[in-house]
Structure 1
Amino acid sequence: MYQPIHPRSPLETMPTMYDLPSELVGESGLPDEFHCIQADLLTETCKPVGYLPEEILLASDLNLYYDPRHTQWYKRPDWYMVLGVPKANQLEELRLSYLIWQEGVTPFLIVELLSPGTEDEDLGQRLREINQPPTKWEVYERILRVPYYVVYDRYENNLRAFEISGMRYKPIAINENRFWLNEINLGLGLWQGVYQGTKGLWLRWYDQAGWILTSAECAEAERQRADRLAAYLRSQGIDPDNLPI
């Protein structure tokens, strides 16, 4: 029996994440140890209000394919947050890359960690060459219109943030190395401390109560609470190790 052939929709003909490179190809600013640790801290302390964990994608060094007309063009943000997209439930569903034409959701916030040689790309300080991909700044500002863009230069201890206003990014006022995002009821700022055994000035999230604790900090806070309780019990003549069940 004759079966009519229906043409596929444009979306069905687009490449998927399995068709496109997921590795870093020919870019400066290769991830170093700082990039990995900093991305971990951002992910561990990011708790947007109003979203379930399974509705948030927090990614670092995951290729972001942004232009369906140039399907090989991508950027690789150091860290980014996408709200309202499902997390993978199975190992085989984990994203190899993030494809705008498949996901249909633009990142809410992107963080770039400046490295020597990446300023022009990250801050749009060079002119685009003919027939070459645009800079990260152009992609985030003009193509994807990412609501918030954050740039941290650890060499200068300099934090900059931008938000979309009209057709362009405008600087966000940074007070005491912090700024607040009303949409998710969280703030982002520079914190001096030790994370994963390394002391430094780190970028991390905070809420109205203060810096959001990491799992290690939560465990330490619980240990100190238990020590205080034990000390109080001993002051009352009670052995905390022999409490009645």
Structure 2
Amino acid sequence: MVQYNPLQSLPTEDDLPDSDDTPVDNELQVLIPSLLRSILALLWADRMDWFFGVNMGVYYEVGQPAIVPDGFLSLGVPRQKRENGRRSYVIWQEQVVPQLVLECVSQTYGGEYDNKIAKYANIGALYYIIYNPDYGRRDQHDSFEVYRLVNGHYLRQSGNPVWMPELALGIGVEQGTFESWTQNWLYWYDLHGQRLPTPDTIIARERQRAEQERQRAEQERQRAEQERQLREDLLNRLREKGIDLDDL
């Protein structure tokens, strides 16, 4: 675990670059962590003690360049910081090491299984997730791997999803739809292995509820119209027989 001296004069996020200027290989490296963040925004809408960064520099040691995970989760920090948000995540400012980091392996190998895993262990990130749906055979790894830090070393966790009690979250991979794109995505899960709702799920439910309400209103309108027509037919038949209800 990296130790920080709070008495030392340290640079702030305003003094440091906000990224490593390395472009992502494909849009999924942004969409996958963005989906995870959007689910948390629904789940923890009333909580202000968490932050999920996407492709944001994490500074862990003075004088060293930032490491930039595709996504990371920190609990116990302000969700919103400063008017324009964080420029980067500076551990000696935040005083909280991200509890979870995510790397999505791309065509250009980024050291996810060697250099980065060593850095994250040194930083002290409790969970390290590697998502490698396209290049697992090349790297001789599974497409979805979760590691937990134990005595300074990462141990592979089994299962899909994997429950993380310290975070009260599970994480796993499953086919679904996000931004009209159907494929395998990473999702959060509850203790019972149930996938937590996504924005698309909520929107679909609301559309279904609105359609059901529209159908119910249409059925009620048709019922009222039928009743009106039956009453009108009855009055006409009575009038044909010389009976006018207005005279009664």
| Same fold? TM cut 0.5 | yes
> Is 2:194 the counterpart of 1:210?
yes
CA distance in 1, matches of 2:87, 2:80: 11
Q: Unaligned 5+ residue runs, structure 1?
A: 1-8, 125-134
In structure 1, the residue matched to 2:120 is 140
CA distance in 1, matches of 2:46, 2:209: 29
Report the identity percentage.
Answer: 26
Structure (1/2) with the larger helix percentage: 2
Q: Which amino acid aligns with 2:164?
A: L
CA distance in 2, matches of 1:164, 1:52: 29
Q: Which amino acid aligns with 1:224?
A: Q
Instruction: Deviation per CA, 1:167-190: give whole Å up to 9, x if none.
Output: 21111012xx31111223321111
Instruction: Deviation per CA, 1:122-172: give whole Å up to 9, x if none.
Output: 111xxxxxxxxxx2211111x211111000002047100000111211110
> Is 2:23 the counterpart of 1:46?
no
Contact 2:25/2:108 (8 A) holds in 1: no
Deviation at 1:12, TM superposition (A): 5.5
Contact 2:176/2:183 (8 A) holds in 1: yes
The TM-score, its normalising length taken from structure 1, stands at 0.76
In structure 1, the residue matched to 2:181 is 198
Contact 1:48/1:185 (8 A) holds in 2: no
Choose from 78, 94, 114 the match for 2:105.
Answer: 114
> Is 2:107 the counterpart of 1:123?
no
Instruction: Deviation per CA, 1:35-73: give whole Å up to 9, x if none.
Output: 1111211111136989953110100111011113xx232
Q: Which amino acid aligns with 1:194?
A: T
Greater Cα radius of gyration, structure 1 or 2: 2
Q: Which amino acid aligns with 2:91?
A: I
Structure 2 matches for 1:80-95, cutoff 5 A? 80-88=72-80, 90-92=82-84, 94-95=85-86
User: Structure 1 residues 239, 90: closer, same or farther in 2, change over 3 A?
Assistant: farther
Contact 1:49/1:184 (8 A) holds in 2: no
Contact 1:189/1:205 (8 A) holds in 2: yes
Deviation at 1:209, TM superposition (A): 7.3
The TM-score, its normalising length taken from structure 2, stands at 0.75
> Is 2:209 the counterpart of 1:219?
no
Structure 2 matches for 1:1-245, cutoff 5 A? 11=7, 13-25=9-21, 30-46=24-40, 53-68=47-62, 71-88=63-80, 90-92=82-84, 94-118=85-109, 121-124=111-114, 135-141=115-121, 143-155=122-134, 156=136, 158-174=143-159, 177-207=160-190, 208=192, 210-231=194-215, 238-239=220-221
Instruction: Deviation per CA, 1:181-220: give whole Å up to 9, x if none.
Output: 1223321111212211222111111224722222232121
Contact 2:25/2:107 (8 A) holds in 1: no
User: Structure 1 residues 238, 52: closer, same or farther in 2, change over 3 A?
Assistant: closer
User: Structure 1 residues 202, 21: closer, same or farther in 2, change over 3 A?
Assistant: same
